[in-house]
Amino acid sequence: MTPIAVTALLFGAGAIGGALNSVAGGGSFVVFPSILFSGVPPVAANATTAVALWPAGISSTWAYRKDVPRDRTVLLVMSIASIIGGALGAKLLLVTSDETFAVILPWLMLGASVVFTFGPRIAKGRAALKVPLVLGAIVQLVISTYGGYFGGGMGILMLATYTLMGMTNIHAMNGMKTFLGTLINGIANVLFFIDRKVVMSAAAPALVGSILGGFIGAALARRVDGKHVRRLVLVVAWGLTIYFFSRRFRSS
């Protein structure tokens, strides 16, 4: 592919990813393989994807700024867990070789696809026993570590955790999810930049596209049924999972 074609591909993937994240989530399922296809090594492609989609997370956080829970204790504890977990996950990714990550990747895609498929059913359920803040923070730490390392389906896992903690207001849950998700990816991105794992030639067009797609997606969110968008993301997610597994088996 020519450089112009690669740039167009990354811009388009970023636009679609930003729009998906603003409506139903799952933008990384589009952006990550596109960056990988452009020739960026697996670990760097994962780091570059996180950077490319981060501005969309910031805009979402701003949109939900009035819905973030006002309980400072809960917000502080969960924020600390998110920052620590995001840093741990990023560090873990940075010490993983491209060869090892290529072996793990199909399983990460499978796990993320399963979470994206069945996570909403868990998030909608109500636990019989309200999980205390300390336990919720421990679960958030684990999710944040996963988020700093890969992150597919992270938002759904967080929504399920907040449900178990007794939260019922979906806007408040989404507000905390977007805020903490921005913290997780933000600290991870700092470490990715320090370690020079971000390929800006690939990140820049995808980043610009994600900002544009995020705005358009937010504008269309009220007109498009999120269920239809989720079905599309599921087709892409499972298709890519099968592709990465088949590619792995062919190379072994």
Name the residue ranges covered by the structural domains of the chain: 3-251
Distance, in Å, from the CA atom of 204 to the CA atom of 206, rounded to the nearest integer, reads: 6
Tokens for 220, please give them: 């269309």
Q: What is the CA radius of gyration of the chain?
A: 17
The overall average pLDDT reported for the chain is 84
CB atoms within 10 A of CB 168: 9
Four-point Cα dihedral 248, 51, 13, 111, nearest 10: 40
pLDDT tens sequence across 171-195: 788 788 889 989 999 999 999 999 9
In this prediction, residue 84 carries a pLDDT of 98
**Distance of alpha carbon 160 from alpha carbon 125, whole angstroms:** 8
Q: How many residues does the chain have?
A: 252
| DSSP alpha helix (H) spans, the chain | 3-23, 28-37, 42-63, 72-94, 98-124, 133-149, 154-164, 170-194, 200-220, 226-251
Distance of CA 77 to the CA centre of its chain: 21
Write down the pLDDT at residue 76. 94
Cα(36)–Cα(42) distance, integer angstroms: 6
The identity of residue 21, as a single letter, is N
Burial 121-156 (b: 16+ CB within 10 A, else e): ebbeeeeeeebebeebbebbbebbbbbbbbbbbbbb
CA–CA separation, 161 and 134 (whole Å): 12
pTM for the model stands at 0.80
- Considering only residues 35 and 116, tell me which one the structure prediction assigns the higher pLDDT: 35
Q: How many angstroms separate the CA atoms of 88 and 83, rounded?
A: 9
pLDDT in tens, 195-227: 999 999 999 999 999 888 877 776 665 566 667
